[in-house]
Amino acid sequence: MTDVFDAVLILLLLLVCSHLGWWAQRWLKEDHRAPPSTESARTMAAMVVTVAALVLGLLVTGVKTDFDDHAGAYSRYGIALFAFDRRLRDYGPDAMPIRTTLRAYTAAVIADTWPDEPRPSGAYPFPVHPVMPGSDETAEFTALMSRMDGGAQDLAPADARHTRLATLLQEDVRDLESIRWSLVERARSKLSPVLLGVLVGWLAVVFLVSGLVSPRNRLTVAVLVLSAFSVASSLYLILDLDSAMGGFIAVPSRPLRDALWHMDQP
């Protein structure tokens, strides 16, 4: 909801700038209202619009690419969890404690990452506690991952087949740790507040100039309102995609829930 609030503030800012331009028209001298002056102002505003459009397009492309990468990482996460569980099944009863820990770990990740969705059943740590404010790294996830790593290291294979499986299980744990840490680092926002603030400032100038040189009638009011709404919705799209795990456009939990479903099968 924070992204919606920010977008509404930007919309109001653009509309206020347009109305300030209309209000300032009364102070313009007659030669300032002449076509050469207004055309010059429109040309300068068009230059700012061009630069702002380029930056806006780059931001949309950048956050969309990062969102897709984030979603792909969670898909790989779900596949890795499923593959680890399947190999633990193949190993046999000796790996059952690791499977129990893996199940608790997967359920805890789902419950913590998607708090607005129904929580998985079963026993697992919840809520978890970040190691520092604003971090996605938690002591509970680290403890569960260390327990799985230690369990894989402590396996005592009795034959060549189980020896090979034990080696693969240790590799699976390392793969899970790698994906987990990449997601922890990826959780940070890639959007620069300074760049976004400068872009909003450019757009505010454009709407101020538009109000300054546009006649005040129903048509121009409607066009400016629709334009402000379109620009604000574009900025909302950027903010929402940047916060990949929240908002109306979020990375789905389906890959991890599918892996958890397979873990629960007999």
Report d(CA 59, CA 266) in Å as an integer.
47
Report d(CA 200, CA 52) in Å as an integer.
9
Tally of CB atoms within 10 A around 257: 18
Convert the pLDDT of each residue in 78-93 to its tens digit: 999 999 999 999 999 9
Report d(CA 18, CA 207) in Å as an integer.
5
Tell me how far apart the terminal alpha carbons of the chain are, to the nearest angstrom: 40
Q: 259 near 106, Cβ under 8 Å?
A: yes
pLDDT at 25: 76
* pLDDT (average), residues 97-102: 95
CA 200 from centre of chain: 20
C-alpha neighbours within 13 Å on the C-beta side of residue 250: 14
pLDDT band at 131, cuts 50/70/90?
Answer: confident
Convert the pLDDT of each residue in 198-251 to its tens digit: 999 999 988 988 888 878 788 888 888 899 999 999 999 998 888 877 778 889
Burial class (CB in 10 A: 0-12, 13-18, 19+), 241: buried
Helical (H) or strand (E) element with 69: helix 35-91
pLDDT at 194: 87
Which residue is listed with tokens 């002449």? 34
**What are the structure tokens assigned to 140, written together?**
């509970």
- What does residue 137 show for φ and ψ, rounded to 5 degrees? -85, 130
Convert the pLDDT of each residue in 44-91 to its tens digit: 878 888 888 888 888 989 889 999 999 999 999 999 999 999 999 999
Tally of CB atoms within 10 A around 154: 11
Rounded alpha-carbon distances, angstroms, from residue 212 to 43, 47, 136, 160:
13, 16, 47, 82
